[in-house]
Amino acid sequence: MSRALSDAKKSSETRTTDSDGGDDRPPLLRWRTFPKKPLTVTDLISGSWCELQHFYTLSRRGGKKRRTVAMKAGSEIHEKLEREVYEKVDVQIAKKEDSFGLRVWNIIQGLQILRDTGLTRELEVWGMVDGNLVNGVIDALTYKNPDPELEEDVISRTGSQSSQSSQHQLSLGNKVIFITDVKTRTTKSPPAQPQMRGTIIQLHLYHRFLSQMASGKVDYLQVFERYGMNPDETFSDEFMTQMAGYHDEISPDSDSESSASDETEATEATADFVTAVSTPSQLGNSLSDIIYMKYRTLRSLIPLLKWEIQMTFPRGAATLGQIVSVEYRYRPRAGADAGSDFPVYCNSFFVTPQLLDEYLNEYLQWWRGEREAQGVTPEEAFKCRTCEFVEDCEWRMNLEQEMLRKARQKTTARAAAASKGGRRKQDRSTEW
């Protein structure tokens, strides 16, 4: 994994031209500063494949990649997996605060489903990188350790005490949560190392952001502000009515498996918006009424969101396992979904924060405008075959010219050597 991440630094530097007016502001200011959307996990992993490709995607296509057949088929598989966990319903949105409130409710529901079933999918997370808000969506969270052998191996080799958390906590009866990403492939062969590089970074980012949320380090008011939301704007009546109907069980409830002390602590933390009760029957009114009356703004959802996170991660970041995994699912080229119902194989990795730090320190230099975007190495020029910008990529053209120049030099050198060898042979024949 160390080699995979360090390879991300090895790329050929090139000057880039701007195709939309010569705006020379740093990328962060141009594309990821309010009112533009915040940074995403995709933004931060794209550089591991090719910084120039992401630069061109931002400057020429508004940050939207061209949707290929493979991408569409991959989305279909993800939606199919999500439907195995959630029942999707249509929600009427009347204002932008409704839309963001729905995102928060989906996180709350996702955490509940994880506690109830041991698996949840498509969980949205936020975290901070270099003072910037970053958004991402985790494919799957589960209580099942994807690779106990890897964990034991790392423990035995490093003697790390902190890495013993998963097995030790399980032995105490405490649940541990593991992160999994899902990728689709048209072949059943393992991906090449350059393809793994971005996935490794992606999983590390998810782990870091979820750790921040589990530790209570995310300021949700700051999140709302970054998206231009008014935390005190009342949701529309239609939206609140729908949420009350869909989330009848949203409440600090007695079904939680937490201890009495944990429940008391959580109730005290939410006393400003929910009456402390031990059973739903003590409410007097239905939980739907409480949802309708109490959760009327984004600000009012924050204590409930924090409470759900606390119930799901009772030991904070320590509730997260140190093993992350990627699950590959086969997608035939014809577009049929045969074979996509189960993983073809999985790769697991032990979380190593310093490796993520090294990558981010390098890549964020470009986002901050401290250096130009870089292209891939000649050894990874195969990536250009699938790039939509290959025809007019300045780096690609410069690389081809450089390779042609070197080839000509070699040809000239070989011709000179051959000519010199011929003269020497002629000189010898004269002497005889």
Chain segment 256-298, per-residue pLDDT in tens: 333 333 333 333 333 332 322 223 333 334 556 766 778 999 9
DSSP label of 328? E
* Claim: this prediction has a pTM higher than 0.85: no
Total domains in the chain come to 2
Round to whole Å and give the CA distance between 111 and 319: 13
Name the token pair of 66: 């061209």
Q: How far is CA 28 from CA 346, 364, 366, 367, in A?
A: 35, 9, 9, 5
Asked whether the beta carbons of 23 and 379 are under 8 A apart, the reply is no
pLDDT band at residue 214 using 50, 70 and 90 as cut-offs: very high
Round to whole Å and give the CA distance between 121 and 140: 4
Residues 299 and 423 in one domain: no
Q: Judge whether residue 13 has pLDDT over 50.
A: no
Residues 96 and 42 in one domain: yes
Residues 362 and 413 in one domain: no
Asked whether the beta carbons of 263 and 252 are under 8 A apart, the reply is yes
Residues 373 and 397 in one domain: no
Residue 366's φ and ψ, nearest 5 degrees, are -70, -45
3-state secondary structure (DSSP) of residue 336: coil
**112-120: average pLDDT:** 96
Strand partners, 181: 326
Round to whole Å and give the CA distance between 313 and 310: 5
Round to whole Å and give the CA distance between 331 and 337: 6
Pseudo-torsion of CA 290, 291, 295, 296, nearest 10°? Answer: -100
Residue 27's φ and ψ, nearest 5 degrees, are -50, -40
Counting Cα atoms < 13 Å in the Cβ hemisphere of 247 gives 28
The alpha carbon of residue 72 and the mean position of all alpha carbons in its chain are separated, in whole angstroms, by: 18
Q: Does residue 113 or residue 422 have the better pLDDT?
A: 113
Asked whether the beta carbons of 156 and 313 are under 8 A apart, the reply is no
Chain segment 44-54, per-residue pLDDT in tens: 999 999 999 99
Residue 229 burial (10 A CB sphere; 0-12, 13-18, 19+): buried
What would the DSSP string read from start to end of 175-236?
--EEEEEEEEESSSSPPPHHHHHHHHHHHHHHHHHHHHHHTT---HHHHHHHTT--TTSPPP
Round to whole Å and give the CA distance between 48 and 68: 20
What pLDDT sits at residue 189? 83
Q: Judge whether residue 43 has pLDDT over 80.
A: yes
Residues 122 and 250 in one domain: yes
Residues 319 and 414 in one domain: no
What pLDDT sits at residue 378? 83
- Arithmetic mean of pLDDT over the chain: 81
**129-140: average pLDDT:** 97
pLDDT band at residue 71 using 50, 70 and 90 as cut-offs: confident
Q: Judge whether residue 422 has pLDDT over 90.
A: no
- Whether residue 388 is contained in a domain is answered as no
Domain span at 405: 393-431
Residues 374 and 420 in one domain: no
Q: Does residue 190 or residue 127 have the better pLDDT?
A: 127
Asked whether the beta carbons of 326 and 332 are under 8 A apart, the reply is no
**25-42: average pLDDT:** 96
Q: Please list, residue by residue across 163-188, b when 16 or more beta carbons sit within 10 angstroms of its beta carbon and e when fewer do.
A: bbbbbebeeeeebbbbbbbbbbbeee
Strand partners, 183: 328
Q: Judge whether residue 27 has pLDDT over 90.
A: yes
Round to whole Å and give the CA distance between 233 and 333: 48
Asked whether the beta carbons of 185 and 191 are under 8 A apart, the reply is yes
Residues 109 and 159 in one domain: yes
What pLDDT sits at residue 426? 54
pLDDT band at residue 88 using 50, 70 and 90 as cut-offs: confident
Round to whole Å and give the CA distance between 47 and 61: 17
Residues 399 and 281 in one domain: no
Round to whole Å and give the CA distance between 76 and 145: 26
pLDDT band at residue 333 using 50, 70 and 90 as cut-offs: low
Round to whole Å and give the CA distance between 156 and 164: 10
Q: Does residue 192 or residue 200 have the better pLDDT?
A: 200
What pLDDT sits at residue 159? 67
What pLDDT sits at residue 168? 66
What pLDDT sits at residue 91? 92
What pLDDT sits at residue 153? 87
Q: Judge whether residue 207 has pLDDT over 70.
A: yes
Chain segment 140-149, per-residue pLDDT in tens: 999 999 999 9
Residues 361 and 400 in one domain: no
- Whether residue 250 is contained in a domain is answered as yes
Residues 59 and 191 in one domain: yes
Round to whole Å and give the CA distance between 287 and 293: 10
Residues 46 and 187 in one domain: yes
Q: β-strand 177-185 against 320-330: which pairing, if any?
A: parallel
Q: Does residue 185 or residue 38 have the better pLDDT?
A: 38
What pLDDT sits at residue 268? 35
- Whether residue 294 is contained in a domain is answered as yes
Q: Does residue 59 or residue 16 have the better pLDDT?
A: 59
